[in-house]
Every structure is written in C-alpha cells, then in structure tokens.
Chain A
Amino acid sequence: MMTKISPRSDLLMLVLFTAAILTMPIWLAPIGAGYPDLLQKFAIFGLFALGFNLLFGLTGYLSFGHAAFLGIGSYAAVWSFKLLGMNPIPALLFSVVFSSLFAVAIGYISLRRSGIYFSILTLAFAQMSYNLAYSVLTPITNGETGLRVLQSDPRLFDSTSEASGPLISNLFGIEMTGYSGFYFCAVLLIIGFYISQRIFRSPFGMMLRAVKSNQNRMSYTGLNTRPYTLAAFIISGTFAGVAGSLLAVTDPLAGAERMQWTASGEVVLMTILGGAGTLLGPILGAGLIKYFENIFSAYNEQTLHAIFSFLPDFMEGAVVSLASLFVGEGWHLTLGLLFMVIVIFLPGGIMEGFNRITKLFRRRPSRVGKRTGHSHSPASANAAE
C-alpha cells in the first residue's frame, strides 16, 4: 500500500505540494485553466474544502452549513477594508476572529447532537445567517446589493491615497488581482495544508479519528469527546472564514448568496469527490468542481459543433444536441453524473482511485517475477494491506 508515514515522507509531500501549487499557472495552461481568476478559485476553494475535511473527514460530523463561515469571513474582510484600508493582512485577521467566534457559538449548540441532527442544526444556522445577511442585518451587510468598499469609507490607513478607479486590495503596493492575487491565495493554501498535515499526524488528529470510529469507547477510555469535536469545528470554521476573506481580497465584494445552502452543499461534494479523510483529496475535489464549473459552463453549441465536425452531418446534429445538455447551463448534469460514478465505483473518492492504480502497478512486478507461485501472489498482496 502506501509508503510508511514518517516526518520525512511528510516533508517530501509538503515540498511536492508547494511546488505543484506554485507552478499551477504553467501546468494547468494546456487544459485551459491557467488563467488567474480560475487559479484563485482553485486555491480559495481548496482551502475551504481542506478545512471542511478537518471536521468531516476526521470526526465524521457532516456540517451542512459551512458556507456561513465563508460568508462571515467575506463580510469581516470587507469591513476591514472599509474601516482600516485595503491591506489584506488585517482583513485576514478580522475574518479569523469573527469566523472562529461564530464557530464557537454554532459549534457549541450544534455539537450537542450527532449524525443527521447535527447536519440539520448546522444547516439551520447557515440559513439563519443567510436570511439575516439578506434582509434583517442590512445596515451591516447591505442586503441583496452586497457589501462593497466605497470611496467615502474612512479607510484609516490609506484614505490619503489618490481616489481614482475601482478600489482593489493591495498588499503594501502589490495589487491583489491577477497572478499576484493567486500567489497570495496559494501561500495561504500551502500554510493551510501544512496545518492540516500537522493535525492529521498529531495525537489530536488521532483522537478525532477515534471520535468517528467509536464515541462510546472514547468516553469509557476517559476522553471527553465534546471539546475534541468543538475544537475541530472551530478550526474548520476558521479555515472557511479565511477562504471567505480571500474571496473578498481578490474581489472586494461580499454578498449574502455566499452563505446559501447550495454553497454549503458544494463543499460537501468537493470533499467527497476528492476523498474525505485524505489530505489531498478535498483540494483535488475543489479543483475538479471549479474546473467543471468554469470550463464546461463556457461551452456552447458552436464550440460543440467545432469539436464534432469530424462526424457526418446527420450524426453531428444529434450528437451536438445531446452533448449540449451537459455543457453550458447544464454543466451541473455532468457534475452530477461524475459524482454518481465516483460515489458508486470509488466510495473513497479520487484518492481511492489513485491508491488502486498505484497498488495495481506495485502488484504487477511481483507477478512477473513469480511465474510459478501463481497462487502465492494474491495472498502476499493481501498481507501487504
């Protein structure tokens, strides 16, 4: 199976991950995903899914309201821009503080229940937040128009700078758009990945997996499960808050729809698609969904005609009209099909697929080497698991 986990293999994993993320603009270009807007989304939603996985993947508690923290992070960041200026650092700090405070409150109440009841409670909280942001709290959230930074805002630290053009977040002079925006998000994703890796390998992470496995045994082993789950919920909510603030950093605007239940559902899909409980899976899932959303939805009948132009005319029309159901507005259909295929054939997500493939390659040489011991090789493969 996998190579033994050691501090060394983890360091190697982190280095490879960092390299892969930082070179994304290069290796994603051939598949048409190498442009900054999409790369930013990859990094931001990767971080969101990474945090969600710390709760769902480790403890098994399925939060169905994680988008609330995404929204809270965005609003906190925009308020930081309005009050303190366009620097993203205070915006990040603001969203960390607010999202973790909300996570304490929501987690404290929701974690009194487990299973489906926990999911429903978190969903209720998220919908409450959405409705509050949409209507009741208009003075703070600017309702359905969305919260934006205005020229007339105090912006204590940079109100002196010349007021021309749209307001863009900038880190000591570097504007947080385009590739510099992506690299800012990428650095945070890498930091997030490092934290997540430390938690996965720590005694705390082991306790969280124990929560998922058998809570009864945990209590009778002298462990109080409640603070463990609450700590996981807060860390996870804070990750979502940071992701939300990055959305505001790359585009200083926060709207209530960011908190809607569809957004909460999306992060669940990302995590399951990639592989819940694995380190890399959720990031892959987030990338895949965002890629589909942006690439497939951009296809239209003309591009399809171009793709299928090699077919004879009478077939081309039929194929295009069938394929057009799955692209453009209908890209959700493709996503749904993909999700079904993965859940049915690879319940462990894309990561399980990878593991199966590597296992296949590992097994093959032993079979070639032991031509006579035909019955022996499956047994040894089983023992290796």
Chain B
Amino acid sequence: MEILSVKGVNKRFGGLKALDDVNLSIEQGHVHAIIGPNGAGKSTLLNCFVGRLIPDTGSVTFLGKDLIGAKPHEINQAGVSRVFQTPEIFGDLTLQENVMIPTLAKRDGAFTMNAWARVDGQGEIRDKAMHMLEDVGLADKKDMTADSLSRGDKRRLELAMCLVQDPKLLLLDEPTAGMSRADTNNTIDLLKRIGERGITKIVIEHDMHVVFSLASKISVLAQGTVIAEGQPEDIKGDPRVQEAYLGGAHV
C-alpha cells in the first residue's frame, strides 16, 4: 500500500531549480532511501514533506491527506515524525522530559490546557517515555540535561522522541552524519530493530554502508530530479548513478 505519494513537485530558490518535477511513491512498511550528491535537493525534498517549505507546484499526499500548506504540528499529528540533520532536542530539559513531551503530544493533541495536574502524576506517560529511553540505551542518563549529551546520544534521543509517538512515517535526515563507525553501527542496529515495528521510513544518507544495510528501495536524486530508482542491487550497478556521483557530463 502506498503511504506517501509525491507528484510533480517543483521548488525554485531564485534562479536555482532545487527540485525539478520529483515523483516518488513510498510503500508502507518499507525503508526507502534517498541518496544523491551534495546539493541534489534531498533535504529540500524532506522539508516539503514536513511543512517547512511549500513547493511551488505539485502535490504531497500522506494516506490520502494533502500535506501542502499544512502546519508542521498538523503533519506530525497526522503521523509523520522527523529526525533532523543537526539534532533538534529540548536542550535545557532533562532526557526524561524530552521524551515525555512527545508522548504527551501524542496523547493530548496539539494544545491542551493541562495546568493543574502534576507531571510526576502522569505514571503511564512516564513509563512509556522511560521504556523508550531504555530502548535507545539512554535510561541511566534520564535526569541529565539534554545539552550535555554527546552528539551521537543527542541523535539517539531525538530518535527516541520520534519513535515514542509511534509514527506511521519516520523521516531520517542523515541519521549517522558525523558519527564514528561504532556509533554508526549501533544506530543501524537500532533502526533495524525499529523496522520490526513496521514503521515506514524515509532515509536520506550519504553513507552507502548505512544505505545498503537498511534500504529496501532506493531513489537517486541529482540536480533536483530522480534519475534512478529500484532495489539496492540494481542501483549499485546503475551507470547513471555512478556518473552522478563521480562527475561526468554535468561537471
């Protein structure tokens, strides 16, 4: 079943054509990787999915719901969560609070005036958050301030914040950028374990090691258009992909 459908998306920044008639179809339960050289428009495309950018033309439909023009919080409430390239977390708050907030957002919706109850009285929410922190291996740091974490831990925290909401679609923007090989492998294992929950994922990644260990389908983006699409094995041998990565006609 198709969970996200992208049709004819165009986006211009002044004279630069960042996205040029992009068509994508994401199947439910799959891990769909989007790869491409720097400046290919991968992050721009992702920004169009979560309401950060509005494409000039084209449509983005998530489970039959039009996402164009929807506010970021509405898109999230519909079931799309996103992990950013640089971790976006609540730096001043503790890890436990960081994970409790998305849990509450999932339960209570975009706004609830819950000003009389106590946070420490929300047992169910806290248990769920703690469970999630255990899953990503951060449970023993639950009372630390999020800003004091290492970059790898921040990213795992952000992932926990997204996963605790049980999203239908998870967008990952370079989840292992700047990580050591060991951390990268840990993250791959974590993402594989998430895969068992049946969450559909879109991964943007430079690291081919990560891409080929996770993806069930790959789209290659270059100069704002999808130049190749298919199973990992087909993509590996595709001459157009090698050309886009190693230079050639466009340089």
Contacts and interface: CB of A to CB of B under 8 A. Distances in A.
B73 A201 contact: no
Interface of B: 50, 71-73, 76-77, 81-82, 84, 88-93, 97, 100-102, 104-106, 108-122, 161, 165
A218 B102 CA distance: 8
Given A217-B88, A220-B82, A221-B161, 5 more contacts: A198-B115, A206-B104, A206-B119, A210-B101, A214-B89
A192 to B, nearest CB: 14
A207 B77 CA distance: 16
Interface in A183-223: 198-199, 201-207, 209-210, 212-214, 216-223
Given A219-B71, A222-B106, A222-B110, A204 B115 contact: yes
A351 to B, nearest CB: 16
B73 A203 contact: no
18 contacts: A5-B120, A7-B120, A201-B120, A202-B119, A203-B112, A204-B112, A205-B115, A209-B92, A210-B90, A210-B93, A213-B91, A214-B89, A214-B90, A218-B101, A220-B82, A221-B165, A223-B101, A223-B105
Contacts of A5: 120
Contacts of A343: none
B105 A213 contact: no
A368 B84 CA distance: 48
Contact of B105 (A204, A209, A221): A221
Interface stretch (A117-125, A155-163, A224-232, A290-298): A224-232
Contacts of B110: 222-224
A6 interface: yes
Contact of A7 (B88, B118, B122): B118
A224 B92 CA distance: 19
A218 B91 CA distance: 12
A219 B72 contact: yes
B101 A207 contact: yes
Closest 5 pairs between A and B when the two form their complex, measured CB to CB? A222-B76, A204-B115, A219-B72, A224-B110, A213-B90
A202 B117 contact: yes
Interface in A323-342: none
Nearest to A10: B118
B111 A228 contact: yes
Contact of A220 (B81, B91, B112): B81
Interface of A: 5-7, 198-199, 201-207, 209-210, 212-214, 216-224, 227-228, 231
A245 to B, nearest CB: 22
A171 B114 CA distance: 34
A354 to B, nearest CB: 20
B117 to A, nearest CB: 6
Contacts of A216: 88
Contacts of B115: 198-199, 202, 204-205, 231
A322 to B, nearest CB: 43
A217 B88 CA distance: 6
Contact of B114 (A202, A213, A220): A202
A382 to B, nearest CB: 11
A12 to B, nearest CB: 15
Contacts of B72: 219-220
Contacts of A217: 88-90, 161
A217 B81 CA distance: 11
B89 A231 contact: no
A154 B89 CA distance: 58
A201 B121 CA distance: 10
B144 to A, nearest CB: 9
B80 to A, nearest CB: 9
A224 B90 contact: no
Nearest to A1: B143
A217 B159 CA distance: 12
Contacts of A220: 50, 72-73, 76, 81-82, 84, 88
Nearest to B90: A213
Contacts of B122: 203
A221 B110 CA distance: 9
B119 A201 contact: yes
B89 to A, nearest CB: 6
A221 B117 contact: no
A7 B121 CA distance: 9
Nearest to B50: A220
Contacts of B113: 204, 231
Nearest to A198: B116
Count chain A CB atoms within 10 A of each CB in B84, B90, B161 and give the residue with the most. Answer: B90
B118 A202 contact: yes
A169 to B, nearest CB: 30
Contacts of A202: 114-119
Contact of B97 (A204, A206, A227): A206
A203 B114 contact: yes
A213 B73 contact: no
